[in-house]
DNA sequence: CGGCTGATTGAGGCTCGTCAAATGTCGTGG
DNA sequence: CCACGACATTTGACGAGCCTCAATCAGCCG
């Protein structure tokens, strides 16, 4: 079971060593067992902001997190969504280069960077794990860039839904953790275009939308054919 | 001076230790002094392909390199351009996830991954340098994604020109190493749109185009204002 | 039931892509 | 030195796709 201590501020918090092995069964998750502090964030709450000191690395215990970059005029691109078991907030430099917010009510495990650095200096395997986190993130971001630069709205939405279903292990019947606005800001589209595209996919009988945040896949093959 | 040995195939080639310190004066360049093999590639030649084993890490000695991803129907997105002193081809996994080609005639230094891994296992600082390369690449790719997802053609072209001028240390008078097609495939546009945008920038007296591959900045401030 | 938020739908416009033609550039050979 | 061809770039006309603005609809909570 996960530990009990819950603090809003990780600095000076008690260190716990939750059993994260259960998450690590999935292929995407690296082990990286580290003592950390549990924190809870309400829906929409900022976990860290762009430019803040990168004191901690985080792992999602429950809920979901969005990391994002913004332009000075308010345009936003969500860099990635972080689901249960995913890490985020790992930076090479001293400051975060992206912001992070809780999508719904969310629990995260916060690990001090100093702790991570100290251990990584001794443990070569851990050091490699840390590198792997960055490398995996780079690979995902490259794929994301390809989608943003060279794919149409329909392809973007299909690729997104398939990827999310895969990551959430809900291959037939997906419950979206995020709003249309979040989807749009991840896909480089507007909410209207996302909405219209979902309606279109429904008209083609590729998906069904029994509820706003519920996607039922009725022709996965067609979706896969389109976007890959 | 750089060493003499030049081989088309790095496997089994003589190891040399070129003096790379001269490149590392610039802020972007990490030291990472490693023995490697020089290789030359003609304009357009493939350095490695998507899916090939990632045996080597490369550093540009002269010329320039593009790394790219493609969709099955041939649409291409250039992930990044790699200029003199830049590294590329560093992967966590066993296979390259992107392709790399020489833009013009290009010399690179190829470092065996096995050598890098062996040294990194002993040298914590080197290990950190390797991580830094990946982290820097991630940061650039995130910025790239923001550009692709949320900026217009004019902003994309301006941001690209300013970034390139900065990296080539040609702040007033830039010589482009790449074709319009390469620019378009980096910016998620078509060659026609890139060309029209350059003409537009010229009409605004923000740049001059004395030759096809030559950009003279006449209002850097305006360009900077637009895209940041 | 009413009000609030988020999602959908519609009409119209703008940006960028497509296709085609013209122009420019560069290397080769007469 | 110029003529030629191959290729890259620019320009133009037009259309498609996505965005903007606005109205309507659906859930949700008090």
pLDDT of B190-216, one tens digit each?
A: 999 999 999 999 999 999 999 999 999
B134/A135 touch (CB, cutoff 8 Å), yes or no: yes
Residues 2-61 on A with a CB inside 8 Å of B are none
Contacts of B192 (CB under 8 A, 6+ apart): none
Q: Protein B191 CA to nucleic acid D9 C1', in Å? A: 9
The pLDDT assigned to B33 comes to 67
**Strand residue runs (E) in chain A:** 37-41, 46-48, 56-62, 65-70, 76-82, 87-88, 99-102, 106-112, 173-175, 207-211, 214-217
Q: How far apart are CA A187 and CA B145, in angstroms?
A: 10
Q: Protein B210 CA to nucleic acid D5 C1', in Å? A: 25
A134/B136 touch (CB, cutoff 8 Å), yes or no: no
A132/B92 touch (CB, cutoff 8 Å), yes or no: yes
Is A140 near chain B, with CB under 8 Å?
no
What average pLDDT does this structure show over A59-64? 97
The pLDDT assigned to A228 comes to 81
Which is more confidently placed, B40 or A122?
A: B40
B72/A228 touch (CB, cutoff 8 Å), yes or no: yes
Sign of the alpha-carbon torsion through B31, B139, B226, A48: negative
Query: Average pLDDT over chain B, rounded to whole?
Result: 89
Name all protein residues with C-beta less than 7 A from any atom of nucleic acid chain C.
A 179-181, 191-192, 194-196, 198-199, 209, 212-213; B 152-154, 188-190, 192-193, 211-212
Is residue A182 pLDDT above 80, yes or no? yes
The pLDDT assigned to B122 comes to 86
What average pLDDT does this structure show over A89-108? 97
Give me the percent of chain A exceeding a pLDDT of 90: 80
Asked if A77 contacts B149 with a C-beta cutoff of 8 angstroms, the reply is yes
Given pLDDT bands bounded at 50, 70 and 90, which one contains residue B125?
confident
Is B72 near chain A, with CB under 8 Å?
yes
Given pLDDT bands bounded at 50, 70 and 90, which one contains residue A32?
low
What pLDDT digit, counting tens, does each position of A146-170 carry? 999 999 999 999 999 999 999 999 9
Given pLDDT bands bounded at 50, 70 and 90, which one contains residue A20?
very low
Is A69 near chain B, with CB under 8 Å?
yes
- Is residue A188's beta carbon less than 7 angstroms from any atom in nucleic acid strand D? yes
* Chosen from A149, A153, A154 to mutate, greatest number of chain B CBs within 10 A: A149
Is residue A190 pLDDT above 50, yes or no? yes
Phi, psi of A111 (to 5 degrees): -110, 130
How many contacts does A have with B, using Cβ atoms within 8 A?
A: 95
Given pLDDT bands bounded at 50, 70 and 90, which one contains residue B1?
very low
Given pLDDT bands bounded at 50, 70 and 90, which one contains residue B70?
very high
Give me the percent of chain A exceeding a pLDDT of 70: 86
B175: which strand partners?
B214
Q: How far apart are CA A122 and CA B155, in angstroms?
A: 45
What pLDDT digit, counting tens, does each position of B129-185 carry? 999 999 999 999 999 999 999 999 999 999 999 999 999 999 999 999 999 999 999
Sign of the alpha-carbon torsion through B205, B207, B211, B212: negative
Q: Protein B46 CA to nucleic acid D25 C1', in Å? A: 55
Is residue A54 pLDDT above 90, yes or no? yes
Cα atoms in the 13 Å half-sphere on the side-chain side of A60 = 23
Given pLDDT bands bounded at 50, 70 and 90, which one contains residue B28?
very low
Is residue B82 pLDDT above 70, yes or no? yes
Query: Average pLDDT over chain A, rounded to whole?
Result: 89
What average pLDDT does this structure show over A87-104? 97
Given pLDDT bands bounded at 50, 70 and 90, which one contains residue A33?
low
Which is more confidently placed, A101 or A2?
A: A101
């Amino acid at each position: 079971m996960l530990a009990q201590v819950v603090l809003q501020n990780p600095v000076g918090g008690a260190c716990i060593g939750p059993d994260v092995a259960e998450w690590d069964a999935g292929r995407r998750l690296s082990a990286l067992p580290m003592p950390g502090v549990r924190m809870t964030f309400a829906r929409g709450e900022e976990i860290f902001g762009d430019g803040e000191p990168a004191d901690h690395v985080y792992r999602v215990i429950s809920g979901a997190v969005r990391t994002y970059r913004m332009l000075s005029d308010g345009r936003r691109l969500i860099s990635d969504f972080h689901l249960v078991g995913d890490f985020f907030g790992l930076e090479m430099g001293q400051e975060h280069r992206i912001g992070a917010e809780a999508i719904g009510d969310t629990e995260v495990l916060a690990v001090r960077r100093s702790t991570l650095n100290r251990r990584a200096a001794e443990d070569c395997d851990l050091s490699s794990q840390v590198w792997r986190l960055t490398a995996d993130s780079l690979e995902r971001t490259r794929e994301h860039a390809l989608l943003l630069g060279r794919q149409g709205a329909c392809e973007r939405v299909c690729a997104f839904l398939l990827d999310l279903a895969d990551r959430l292990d809900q291959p037939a019947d997906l419950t979206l953790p995020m709003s249309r606005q979040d989807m749009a800001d991840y896909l480089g589209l507007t909410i209207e275009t996302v909405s219209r595209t979902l309606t279109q996919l429904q008209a083609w009988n590729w998906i069904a939308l029994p509820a706003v945040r519920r996607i039922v896949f009725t022709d996965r093959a067609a979706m896969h054919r389109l976007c890959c």
